A and B are shown apart, each in its own frame.
Chain A
Amino acid sequence: MTTIEDYGKYETAWCPGCGNFGILNALKQALVNCDLPPHRVLLVSGIGQAAKAPHYLRANVFNGLHGRSLPAAIGARLANPELTVIAESGDGCLYGEGGNHFLAALRRNLDLTILAHDNRVYGLTKGQASPTSQQGMVTKTQPHGAFPPPFNPLAVAVTMGASFVARGYAGKLEQLSELISKAIKHRGTALVDILQPCVSFNKINTFQWYQEHCYELPPEHDPTDRDQALRVALEFGENLPLGIIYQTQRPLFEEQFTPLKHGPLARQEVSRPKLEEIMQQYR
């Protein structure tokens, strides 16, 4: 049995009151709920305040480059299909710098969980607009207000054919850890976009703002209905639905690679006779 203590307790470099704390606790609880021992879990992150999260729990960690958590996670997952791989990063990292990887990862559909700490601002570099910043949000680098409408990760994910698309909120811990558990258990790429107040730099989307604008998806919502899911995902203004927006079954990307049927690549020997046979093809 895995317990919450197995995942340790660390000092963090986050601001007091940061939404990241809630996400970290929810993730730990989810890992315990899934009964995953730390050494079977790999957390991969990019750069940003969110990307530091893997350092604050006991697990395998690959903390790479800004925007590049997904390719690294995909590589690791393909090298060892026995690892539970979770990519964890912020909105700037996943949707901005790593936008192309985000699209490609959803299309591939590896068994992989993506946790987006979405605070709708750049925290690490002190408050510039992010891809999900609300239109008109004034910052030091957007003095006239963020011009483009916010990137809608959920609508994009649904249209890309992602097999699990959900939204959580850092202020609703129990629901969030349940969503993360379901995402981890889902066979395929699961995106959980997690709304998260940034107490230092986002003066618009505060805890109170989220309390007022979030609502839980009613039980009538059918996450297997793609059209309905897309309609819900497009609600990205005054009302923000929480819960599993879309879920479907698609073939796993890993299944096309026969070497993975034999487990981790590190355990597979090079066959000399097979190599000799291959060389004969060039005669």
Chain B
Amino acid sequence: MSQDIQILIGGEAGQGLVTIGQLLAKALVRSGREIFTSQSYHSRIRGGHNTFALRVGPAPLAASRDNIDILVALNAETVELHQAQLTQRALIIADANTAPNTAGAIPVPFAQLGPEKLWNTAALALLGQILGLPTEPLQQAVDEMFGHKQAEVLAENRKVMKKSREWAGQHVPEHPFTLADRSTGAAKRLLLTGNQAIALGALAGGLKFCAFYPMTPATSIVIELISHADTMGCIVEQAEDEIAAINMAIGASYAGAPAMVATSGGGFALMVEGVSLAAMTETPVLVVVGQRPGPATGMPTCTEQADLEFVLHAGHGEFPRAILAPGSIEECWSLTARALGLTEHTQSPVFLLTDQFLADSSRPVTPFDGDTVTPVRAGSDPQKVVPPYRRYYLTPDGLSPRLLPGLSEHLVVADSDEHNEEGHLSEDYGLRKAMVEKRLGKLELLKRQALAPTLNGARGAELLLVCWGSSLGPVRETAEILRGQGQEVATLHFSQVWPLVPEQFLDILQAAGQVVCIEGNATGQFARLIRRETGFAIDRRINRYDGLPFTAGYLLEHLEKSAAA
């Protein structure tokens, strides 16, 4: 049995379950624990069945577990829905009126502990008592959240917390869930979701403009950006639609503001013409696509990795692009900053492909080192330009000096039509060919800067698990479990999915015994892409497309099944 504890808080939207989870997460991280949280919610403001999963343990975690040790059921439905996932030793915290009559159930007289609006504080206190977490860090987290409110609210909260812990001290049965000693003393760690890390990475990377139209699961990136926009000198604008958003970002970038848009598949579908525009006008723009299940509106609050081929081919005509797909919270930070730099350095659209799972999960991370990021600066130095200035001057590497309008006396002409070196419309066939080659030439630049996939484990291992983007955490955990059982397992994770440079990884694939590609889509898009680019046919695939993220439990089960097949 693993050393860690999986807690699931379930209830209706509006019951404050996320608050319980976030406050507990904060207190645990501050007390030096390793945690991983993930969220599942429905597309409703109130009602529906939502969950906040928190896993806590002695070693770093990067995925949730399928089975549950402590279930906090804010309504009766939660018990019904998660009954099958409970471990033998599980505890169920539920209101005395709805608690099931089963072993491990703790019927809590919430009404006696405090007013209904503070039942989440009571539940939080109970969890703290069960885990053996001192009151202090929990109370501090609660105070910070309600600190801006009136003193009475704070006092009432404290009272409920105290009373609940006392009640728990007397009524919670014997259980094995006390936290192990703190694993690290790193109290300075940050607790971040993937989307928060993307926002911080963008600001560190020099983002100055973001336009968006709200769409789950990308909106929280923008909310984070907005909260720091004034401090960091960034402008964020809610556009009238996604078409406006990307055209605004391109206009802003043309005029010198490193720019991005953030959306999901459906919104990105509307932005596609703008992607072409960025490529043709050679205007840098970072496009963040937070994947969720499609087609059309799909499952708005669930996760999937099925937009790889869409993003890879989005836009009419031929032009190069880069697609980065972070696998961890740290990579959300570092790859966003990198992607922003790459857009400017190649004067091309660059994509960051994430998904709902990574967007809404959180984990403690070491504070990011700003020294590892050089903020991007838009445009070339006008002093170095020999007049007459030509925006699309044909150069061997495809990069022309990108001056910014209004910041020098040179005039900057950009056009979505095929154009001459000055930027004016042209229907000259020879020039057209030269311009196509100039734009396509940037693929070499992108390949030279391509991130190699990360091999974890030995070359030539009997089993190689290939994955990309957000699957990294669950896949690594699976490999660790299998290694613990004596299997020789390695993982190969791609955080850059385009362009692919076969020299970086083909020999690793060829050396492995069995290669299994794990991805969150039904048709094996990445496995197909590898075959297209390298000719290497991957032996087996595990695909998940029910809307839920991978877990080690799911992967172990399916590895066994597919091996038997």
Instruction: Please give the residue numbers on chain A whose beta carbons come within 8 Å of chain B beta carbons, in ascending order.
Output: 13, 37-40, 42, 44, 47, 52, 55, 58-65, 68, 70-80, 82-83, 100-101, 103-104, 257-260, 262, 264-272, 274-280, 282-283
| Closest chain B residue to A102, Cβ basis | B240
B411 contacts A100, C-beta separation under 8 Å:
no
Known: A68-B243, A266-B379. Is A42-B277 also a contact (CB below 8 A)? no
Segment from B125-133, B415-423, B436-444 that makes contact with A: B415-423
Q: How many chain B residues have a CB neighbour from A under 8 Å? A: 70
A278 contacts B203, C-beta separation under 8 Å:
yes
Instruction: Decide if the interface of chain B is mainly helix, strand, loop or mixed.
Output: mixed
B314 to chain A, nearest CB (A): 15
Residue numbers in B under 8 Å from A267 (CB-CB): 407
A279 contacts B200, C-beta separation under 8 Å:
yes
B234 contacts A259, C-beta separation under 8 Å:
yes
| Closest chain A residue to B424, Cβ basis | A55
B252 contacts A76, C-beta separation under 8 Å:
yes
| Closest chain B residue to A46, Cβ basis | B416
Known: A76-B251, A103-B240, A272-B370. Is A39-B411 also a contact (CB below 8 A)? yes
| Closest chain B residue to A60, Cβ basis | B405
Known: A55-B425, A283-B188. Is A100-B244 also a contact (CB below 8 A)? yes
B240 contacts A65, C-beta separation under 8 Å:
no
| Contacts of B4-26 to chain A: CB distance below 8 A | none
Residue numbers in A under 8 Å from B239 (CB-CB): 71, 104
Residue numbers in A under 8 Å from B297 (CB-CB): none
A278 to chain B, nearest CB (A): 5
* 14 extra interface residue pairs, beta carbon distance < 8 Å, beyond A52-B425, A61-B414, A278-B200: A39-B409, A42-B255, A63-B413, A72-B247, A75-B211, A76-B405, A77-B251, A78-B237, A80-B256, A83-B405, A258-B230, A270-B206, A277-B231, A278-B231
Instruction: Please give the residue numbers on chain B whose beta carbons come within 8 Å of chain A beta carbons, in ascending order.
Output: 30, 187-192, 196, 200, 203-204, 206, 208-209, 211, 228-235, 237, 239-241, 243-245, 247-257, 259, 273-274, 277, 281, 367-368, 370, 375, 377-379, 404-417, 423-425
CA distance A61 to B424 in the complex (A): 9
A68 contacts B247, C-beta separation under 8 Å:
yes
| Closest chain B residue to A283, Cβ basis | B190
A259 contacts B367, C-beta separation under 8 Å:
no
Contact with A282, one of B190, B250, B259 (Cβ below 8 angstroms): B190
Among B234, B255, B370, the most chain A Cβ lie within 10 Å of the Cβ of B255
A275 contacts B406, C-beta separation under 8 Å:
no
B191 contacts A83, C-beta separation under 8 Å:
no
Residue numbers in B under 8 Å from A78 (CB-CB): 209, 235, 237, 248, 252, 257
Residue numbers in B under 8 Å from A266 (CB-CB): 208, 255-257, 377-379, 404, 407
B230 contacts A71, C-beta separation under 8 Å:
no
6 CB-based A-B contacts, threshold 8 Å: A61-B414, A63-B413, A65-B277, A70-B244, A259-B230, A265-B252
CA distance A259 to B17 in the complex (A): 37
A265 contacts B208, C-beta separation under 8 Å:
yes
B259 contacts A75, C-beta separation under 8 Å:
yes
B274 contacts A282, C-beta separation under 8 Å:
no
B493 to chain A, nearest CB (A): 25
A80 contacts B404, C-beta separation under 8 Å:
yes
Residue numbers in A under 8 Å from B231 (CB-CB): 271, 274, 277-278
Ranked nearest first, the 10 interchain pairs of A and B with the lowest CB-CB distance are A75-B251, A266-B256, A72-B251, A60-B405, A75-B252, A71-B247, A75-B248, A79-B255, A79-B257, A104-B240
A283 contacts B255, C-beta separation under 8 Å:
no
B434 to chain A, nearest CB (A): 20
A102 to chain B, nearest CB (A): 10
Residue numbers in B under 8 Å from A278 (CB-CB): 200, 203, 228, 231-232
B416 contacts A63, C-beta separation under 8 Å:
yes
Known: A60-B411, A75-B253, A79-B255. Is A275-B417 also a contact (CB below 8 A)? no
CA distance A82 to B407 in the complex (A): 9
CA distance A76 to B407 in the complex (A): 12
A272 to chain B, nearest CB (A): 5
CA distance A277 to B190 in the complex (A): 12
CA distance A55 to B233 in the complex (A): 33
Contact with A79, one of B30, B204, B209, B232 (Cβ below 8 angstroms): B209
A62 contacts B203, C-beta separation under 8 Å:
no
CA distance A101 to B270 in the complex (A): 14
A55 to chain B, nearest CB (A): 5
CA distance A260 to B252 in the complex (A): 13
B255 contacts A76, C-beta separation under 8 Å:
yes
| Closest chain B residue to A103, Cβ basis | B240
A75 contacts B247, C-beta separation under 8 Å:
yes
Residue numbers in B under 8 Å from A277 (CB-CB): 231
CA distance A232 to B251 in the complex (A): 35
A271 to chain B, nearest CB (A): 7
B251 contacts A74, C-beta separation under 8 Å:
yes
CA distance A271 to B244 in the complex (A): 29
B406 contacts A65, C-beta separation under 8 Å:
no
CA distance A129 to B277 in the complex (A): 27
B365 to chain A, nearest CB (A): 9
